[in-house]
Structure 1
Amino acid sequence: MNGETTYLTDLAEVLWPCGGLLGRGTDTTPPRRDPVPPPRDAEVREYLPVPSAHNPRVILPVTNRYAAARGISAFAQRHSFSERVRTALLATAFSSGLAPLLLRDRLHVGSGRTIEHALATALDRDVVIAIHIGPPRANRKPVLLLLTPAGRTIGYAKIGVNDLTSRLVRAETDALRRLAEARLRDITVPRLIHAGEWNGHPLLVQEALPVGDQTDRPTRRQLLRCVLQICDLETVREIRLFASPYHRTLANRIAALGDRPEAHALREAFDQLPDVTLPFGAWHGDLTRWNVASTPRRAFVWDWERLAFDAPLGFDALHYELNECVQAGTHQGVQRWVDSGARLLRDPLITGAGLRPEAVSTVMALYLIDLATRYLHDRQLEAGGRLAAVDDWLLPVLSGLGERAVQEALEARRVG
């Protein structure tokens, strides 16, 4: 049993405390851990870990081909031609009934109280689920696609499985409640449908956004409009960096890292930044191609678990751009980001909102310090996060940005 199968069996205990067992297609006798008698109509459920129990990315119901095919389509990353072809082939395999014959690993779930029962009760309707768990990282948690038995989408559910993911689920619940009162002119966010607990873990259910073949990744202008409208979730204030609440908060977060080797470099880079005036507002915290889609007139944004306030304007644009740049490789990508991120912050839309040219490198350096601090607190490296080795790629870039930030500020003073 490798780490991924261990994660899968631990996840089964959270979702199906009545009993879950990994096995092959012919093994249908899960262990009973729940002394409560099952309901009369209870039955043993079978799920397929795809592509396998040793490398699970999605978990799909064996007996409902419509829900399984819908789960493949809903959770697929279709940003390239090869990804679209792979998604189409998998969806066809499930809708035709061939997939269970080709994929041998099974997750057998016994009768009794399950997450499906809790969701059906909360939503007052029959629910079938498909589950996305994604690659290893500290904030990995199950995202459940909720479907009718006929395969129509009801919404999505998230459940915390450890301290970090539980905190994030609660944070997203609070964010969705706050966003329900906000007026975002060109952005649609999911509506919170249900918030509660299951098996001692926080649970939220949100509506599904109308994202699909009619939406695409945002253009540069659409992205920057999103950034500005999210920033305006709170009143934007122009403050000198050293007097800002953000500066105090980030300093405390860095101090809380203690004597970790990377913490010294972050403190040094942070302390050397110039005291420039910056516009501060809200930021999504994880605006990437996986969390936003657009039409020519509207953006759809989800995954609000990192929503934060009193952050420098431009963080969301930098985060989106960094994740785009590193798709083909971290080291080359981050070097491209140093230039492309600066161009984004110098766009007239951003400068028109108050970000001064002499503060661009300071904001970029602050973003990297903030991101590194997040990764270190979340222990992303230990969990296998792809960008988590901050001393390998982030700290060297941060050093150069810090020097550039000081030079920009000095030059602005001379000109002024």
Structure 2
Amino acid sequence: MNGETTYLTGLAEVLWPCGGLMGRADPAADAPGTGRRRGDGNTRAYVPVPSAHNPRVILPVADRHAAARAVTAFAQRHSLRERLRAAALTSAFASGVAPLLLRDRLHVGPGHTIEHELSAALDRRVVIAVHIGPPRANRKPVLLLLTPNGRAVGYAKIGVNDLTSRLVRAETHSLARLAESRLRDVTVPRLLHEGEWNGHPLLVQDALPVGGQTDRPTRRQLLRCVLQIGSLEPVRVLPLARSPYRAELAERIAALGERPETAPLRACLDRLPDVRLPFGAWHGDLTRWNVATTPRRAFVWDWERLAFGVPLGFDALHYELNECVQLGVHPGVHRWLDTGARLLRDPLITGAGLVPGTEAAVMALYLIDLATRYLQDRQAEAGGSLAAVDDWLLPALAGLEDRAAREAGEPG
């Protein structure tokens, strides 16, 4: 049993207090069309995909239409290879062939389960499929809630440790706050239910209408979205040195303790020029995985890191960084140092109050903020690809510090 299989069985204990048992498919024990094992009508079977040793999603054997819909919902179809793989998996589950090819099983015993809890919360029977994603510090189960015929009715999130529990509670608070806000061209999920399950925080939100009719945002769509999120609170232009943001960031760095990365982060923050910057809200994790657009609207989800009073443009920089590193961290970061600055010089951003000549300072602040988050969450220990702060972030930050001083007209 490898670490991923251990994680999967531990997750089963959270979702199904009766626990789960890993095994292999047994055609003589699986009742056709029901997903239940003969001899125990209360036991359900789930398929870890692609395998128990590398689980990314957990799909119900019994409900092939729900399983096929879940593949479509969870698939990352940003490349031709990803689209072809998603189409093949969807067809395999819709036809009933997939359970014959994917033999690993998670068998769940009888008792009151998360399905019962969610069905009661939504006042309708729901089937679940679970997305767990790759190992990282903020890894948590995301449950797609479906009707038995495969229609998506919502998503649920459950905190499984201190960090993910904090994030689930934060997103619950964010969705409640966003329900009172008016974003002209941005649609946010509605909070349908909040509570606890098996001692863990639980939130349920509705499913946004994203799919074949939506796509990744264009540059203009991205910046319009960034600015509308930024205006969730009145944008204020303040000197960096006297801004609440700088004081809070300094406190977060100090809370890291005597790590080797702490001193260079603190020193860089102290040496940045005291430029005037616009401060507003940011989503905190705006990436291709959390936003989809049509020509008229943006659909944005995963609001667990919503924050206020940060330099305008952080969301654009975050999106761009995650795009640039898709084919490699070091060449991607090198490219981002140029493309990120160009994003901040876009007339939409400068028209919102960002003064030309302050781009490097904003980019440096973003990297300091991101490094502090990664170190606080211990992302490197969990294996996050961008989390090795000393490998790429600190060198990039040193260059931005020099550039910020030149832009401000200070001696090098």
TM-score tier by shorter-chain length is: over 0.9
Instruction: Map residues 243-254 of structure 1 onto 2, 5 A cutoff.
Output: 243-254=242-253
Shift of 1:341: 0.2
- 2:12 maps to 12
With over 3 angstroms needed to count, the CA separation of the structure-2 counterparts of 1:167 and 1:42, relative to structure 1, is farther
| Runs of 4+ displaced beyond 2 Å | 26-29
Partner amino acid for 1:26? D
Instruction: Map residues 2-81 of structure 1 onto 2, 5 A cutoff.
Output: 2-26=2-26, 43-81=42-80
- 1:324 maps to 323
Structure 2 residue 360 is the aligned partner of structure 1 residue 361: yes
Tell me the SS of whatever aligns to 2:130.
strand
CA contact (8 A) 1:42 1:112 kept: no
Tell me the SS of whatever aligns to 2:78.
coil
Q: Distance in 1 between matches of 2:335 and 2:357?
A: 20
- 1:298 maps to 297
Shift of 1:265: 1.3
Instruction: Map residues 229-244 of structure 1 onto 2, 5 A cutoff.
Output: 229-244=228-243
- 1:375 maps to 374
Structure 2 residue 179 is the aligned partner of structure 1 residue 209: no
Structure 2 residue 349 is the aligned partner of structure 1 residue 350: yes
- 2:392 maps to 393
Shift of 1:3: 1.1
Shift of 1:268: 1.3
Q: Deviations over 1:72-129 (max 9, x none)?
A: 0000000111110000000011111111111111000000011001001111111100
- What runs of 5+ residues in structure 1 fail to find an aligned partner? 30-40
Q: Deviations over 1:233-292 (max 9, x none)?
A: 001100000101100110000001111111111111111101110000000000000000
User: In percent, how many aligned pairs have the same letter?
Assistant: 77
Shift of 1:19: 2.1
Shift of 1:392: 0.4
Q: Deviations over 1:286-326 (max 9, x none)?
A: 00000000000110000000000010000000000000000
Partner amino acid for 1:12? A
- 1:283 maps to 282
- What runs of 5+ residues in structure 2 fail to find an aligned partner? 30-39
Q: Distance in 2 between matches of 1:278 and 1:152?
A: 46
- 2:32 maps to none
Tell me the SS of whatever aligns to 1:216.
coil
Aligned length: 401
Shift of 1:174: 0.4
Q: Distance in 1 between matches of 2:265 and 2:161?
A: 27
Structure 2 residue 307 is the aligned partner of structure 1 residue 311: no
Q: Distance in 2 between matches of 1:326 and 1:105?
A: 33
Instruction: Map residues 127-146 of structure 1 onto 2, 5 A cutoff.
Output: 127-146=126-145
Shift of 1:28: 10
- Normalization by structure 2: what TM-score? 0.96
Shift of 1:26: 2.5
Partner amino acid for 1:21? L
CA contact (8 A) 1:47 1:62 kept: yes
Q: Deviations over 1:353-389 (max 9, x none)?
A: 1001121100000000000000000000111111110
Shift of 1:27: 9.8
Q: Distance in 2 between matches of 1:135 and 1:242?
A: 39
